[in-house]
Amino acid sequence: MLTNFVRATYKPLAALAFWLLAAQPASLAQGTTSFPLPAPGLDIAMSASGVAVVTTSGASLLWVRDENGNARNVAFTPDDCVALTLTRDGLTARMRGTVSSNMFLVDLGPDQLSVRSYSSSTTDFVLTPDERTILTGLSNNTMLVTSSATYQDFGAASLSGIPRSIVASPNSKFAFVATGASGRSIVKVRLSSRAIVDQFEASGPISKLAISPNGRQLYAIVARTLADGSTRRTLEVLDARRGTRLQSRRLSVAGSQAPSFDVETSSTSVFASSTEPLTVGSQQAGVIRFPVRAGALLAPRALTSIGTGAGAIALDRGSKSLGVINPDSQTVTFQQVP
């Protein structure tokens, strides 16, 4: 199995230049702060230490906000990167390239870059909550399981289709992977053996998976083509232990373009963002919030990016701060949330 992959190429490259971002943050409202980005933002990650990182498009830069709220740009790589992860201490960022078949590791403290290449294109990339294991989706219908300390490959889970989205269980023992020929299957993989231990389906192709902090609920963004040719998009709630569908909430997209979604979860809320505005009552917003009560989603509420779409989001559960990429204004906003 592992002969299908190129072994880790993990060599420090030249030191990266850091410089302070001249523009200062602008306060939007109580508990809300916005920073300008040097280029359109692609993905965002936040750490428990208060560090935030944004990947940008076409600028060969990372944007970094430190724990004291100071922002700087980091010279990086020509590759646009997504699937961004950040360790709890905020010192190490990992991400996958959208052009190359590479995983990039940036040590934000010692100012070094390392690269691992793959023989197949990467489709998703996850660091388990215990930060010991890297899960990499590959276009050859596998998910590679790798040590984050030594970069030794433990093995690969064979799937029935391309892994579209991966989430790890809070105890770091399992992965849930959206896959299958139609993209509607969710397989549960035991990471110690790379074996599939369960499989269930959503009502349609899945573009994004998320999991509740207690590991009991899975959230899936689903797009289903109706008989009249229109597309219905929903946020489905599934029981992570039994695979049964518990609830479905429709996502009403106001824009005319095909949207990209992102999802973040806390014990009290599920946040969903869309690059095309979502309609909630009489409002349109790029980010909406579903309050959670006893595991069930209540009626959604418009949260931020009122009237416009929003890009990727990230949640620091400790400080209850939600980071939002705003494509229209080329900014990133940090907002206090319930």
Reported as a single tens digit per residue, the pLDDT across 193-243 is 999 999 999 999 999 999 999 999 999 999 998 888 888 999 999 999 999
List all residues 6 or more positions away from 193 whose beta carbon is below 8 Å from its beta carbon. none
SS3 3: helix
What is d(CA 326, CA 331) in angstroms, rounded to the nearest whole number?
5
Segment 9-14 shows an average pLDDT of 31
List all residues 6 or more positions away from 32 whose beta carbon is below 8 Å from its beta carbon. 304, 333, 334, 335, 336
Give the CA dihedral 40, 46, 51, 56, nearest 10 degrees. -20
Residue 44 has pLDDT above 50, yes or no: yes
What's the confidence (pLDDT) of residue 58?
93
SS3 4: helix
What is d(CA 113, CA 330) in angstroms, rounded to the nearest whole number?
26
Average pLDDT score, the chain: 89
Q: Which helix (H) or strand (E) holds 72?
A: strand 71-75
SS3 2: helix
Asked if 20 and 70 count as a contact pair (C-beta separation under 8 A), the reply is yes
**Which residue, among 285, 292, 294, has the nearest Cα to 266 in the 3D structure?**
292
Residue 319 has pLDDT above 70, yes or no: yes
**Which residue, among 143, 138, 141, 140, has the nearest Cα to 174 in the 3D structure?**
143
| Lowest mean pLDDT, pick from 4-18, 76-90, 155-169, 204-218 | 4-18
For residue range 172-185, what is the model confidence (pLDDT) as tens digits? 999 999 999 899 99
Asked if 174 and 191 count as a contact pair (C-beta separation under 8 A), the reply is yes
What is d(CA 241, CA 246) in angstroms, rounded to the nearest whole number?
12
What's the confidence (pLDDT) of residue 31?
77
For residue range 62-120, what is the model confidence (pLDDT) as tens digits? 999 999 999 999 998 889 999 999 999 999 999 999 988 899 999 988 767 889 988 88
Tell me the residue length of the chain. Answer: 338
Residue 28 has pLDDT above 80, yes or no: no
Calculate the alpha carbon distances from 252 to 179, 181, 210 in Å: 25, 26, 19
Instruction: Kindly write down the DSSP assignment for every residue of 77-139, as one continuous string.
Output: -SS-EEEEEE-TTS-EEEEEESSSSEEEEEETTTTEEEEEE-SS-EEEEEE-TTSSEEEEEET
Q: Which helix (H) or strand (E) holds 203?
A: none
| Lowest mean pLDDT, pick from 6-10, 282-286, 293-297 | 6-10
What's the confidence (pLDDT) of residue 111?
67
Segment 16-28 shows an average pLDDT of 35
315 or 305, greater pLDDT: 315
Q: Partners of 147 in the beta sheet?
A: 133
